[in-house]
Amino acid sequence: MKIAVIGTGYVGLVVGTCFAETGNTIVCADVDPKKIDTLNSGGVPIYEPGLAELIKRNVDEGRLSFTTDVARAIAESNVVFIAVGTPPGEDGSADLQYVLAVADAIGTHMTGYRLVVDKSTVPVGTARRVAAAIAAKAKHEFDVVSNPEFLKEGTALDDFMKPDRVVIGCDSERAANLMKELYEPFVRTGKPIIVMDPESAELTKYAANALLATRISFMNEIAQICDRVGADVSRVREGIGSDARIGPSFLFPGVGFGGSCFPKDVRAIRKTAMEHDYDFRILEAVFEVNERQKRYLLEKVHAHYGPSIKGKRFAVWGLSFKPRTDDMREAPSLTILPALVAAGATVHACDPEAIHEAKKLLGDHVEYAKRPMDCLEGADALMVITEWSEFRNPDFALMAAKLKDKVVFDGRNIFSMTKMREHGLTYYGIGRGHRPK
């Protein structure tokens, strides 16, 4: 198929590249000339493991191209994916101005039947609004489909190529059949393609992320209880995660969730509920717990050092909101590091991919290092904020030798408490029996 993907952000690039990999002809269009120039010169404006290599192969083989000519991309394609941003407004609602602008362009420039696919994360009712915007300009038939994405940053290519399920929201059998044909190469192992109405598909995306965010916040609450009663949350997690009704995923406590999806989607579904006169109390608590959890490691710092940490030097491992990405949107580090600096401490941080983003957001208030051990030079204590694989098995003897106070604040529970004790390190995890006083 000839497919246009409008928007070359995270979702648009992954979607376009993966569809090109299965033999489709893809043009990714964006109004930002800087992004398109970067892509056409062989660069990639985001970091996602394996994406740069996959883009290069499909560009070299003539299946994938990039342009700022949105009108031409729409005119020359059979299927148009809308993959532009939907940033949250001050009230938590998703801003649809970019989605509706693309819909207007589709109605203006389509030259025949078009299958229009909402891939952006959008609130319930958006497919109907997109259809109305297209209809106001269109002279040809079209169908609008809601096709939410379930990509995890760091594993997005595998998530797209081997999906747990494909959700299609539409009212047209013609559109459903075209979408099934498009996705058939990715579900050959029997994973389901689920067809439903557009409203249900739109809500499915928000409900999935809200439920996962709820699991994380629940375990962060359990971790706080563990610290108060002397239990180990790692054991509790193992005990409940082995229950087939619960399962082990998203039961790892830490310093809170961040990124572009969970915080935004929790706010958006709460806003949708409010607009329909429903008080979604659980998600209000989820958001409050997450914001509180971002400061929990700071409480442990002050419990150890006392109210003043002025003059202390902290090594920090991890800046991105999760491993295998350079994304720092709503990352816990953006709460923790400024608080350390404001309290008079100095910070020397390391992250395998996110330093360039951190410099934009934190500036010269923080020092940066290329290698984890370099951070430890002159540091009183180590703070782990993101669980990159590179941090999991360091030279513990060297770590102990470098840290002046021999203290580790592990915000992701990546280290063994036994290993810490063996090397004479004072260790504070999340939910591992150390309650802030």
Query: What are 236-282's pLDDT values in tens digits?
Result: 999 999 999 999 999 999 999 999 889 999 999 999 999 999 999 99
Q: H-helix or E-strand containing 347? A: strand 346-350
Give me 55's structure tokens.
């883009």
pLDDT of 74 above 80: yes
Q: pTM to 2 decimals?
A: 0.92
Q: H-helix or E-strand containing 426? A: strand 426-428
Degrees, nearest 5: CA angle 366-368-372: 130
- CA-to-CA separations, 244 to 129, 203, 249, in angstroms, rounded: 40, 25, 11
Nearest in space to 403 (alpha carbons), one of 335, 313, 334? 313
Q: What is the torsion angle, in degrees rounded to the nearest 10, for the CA atoms of residue 115, residue 120, residue 126 and residue 130?
A: -40
Q: How far apart are CA 347 and CA 339, in angstroms?
A: 11
292-330: per-residue pLDDT in tens? 999 999 999 999 999 999 999 999 999 999 999 999 999
Largest CA distance in the chain: 74
Degrees, nearest 5: CA angle 44-49-54: 60
Strand partners for 25? 2
Q: H-helix or E-strand containing 82? A: strand 79-82
**With contact defined as beta carbons under 8 Å apart, do 127 and 169 qualify?**
yes
Q: How far apart are CA 82 and CA 52, in angstroms?
A: 22
Q: How far apart are CA 345 and CA 264, in angstroms?
A: 31
Of 15-24, 256-265, 391-400, which gets the smallest average pLDDT? 256-265
Local confidence band at 87 (pLDDT 50, 70, 90 cut-offs): confident
Burial label for 286, CB within 10 Å (0-12, 13-18, 19+), is buried
Strands 166-169 and 426-428: unpaired
pLDDT of 437 above 70: no
Catalytic residues: 261
Give me 345's structure tokens.
């401490």
Instruction: Please report, rounded to a whole number, the percentage of residues in the chain having pLDDT higher than 90.
Output: 95
The DSSP symbol for 31 reads S
What number of other Cβ atoms are within 10 A of residue 356's Cβ?
Answer: 12
Q: How far apart are CA 138 and CA 110, in angstroms?
A: 7
C-alpha 320, offset from chain centre: 10
400-414: per-residue pLDDT in tens? 999 999 999 999 999
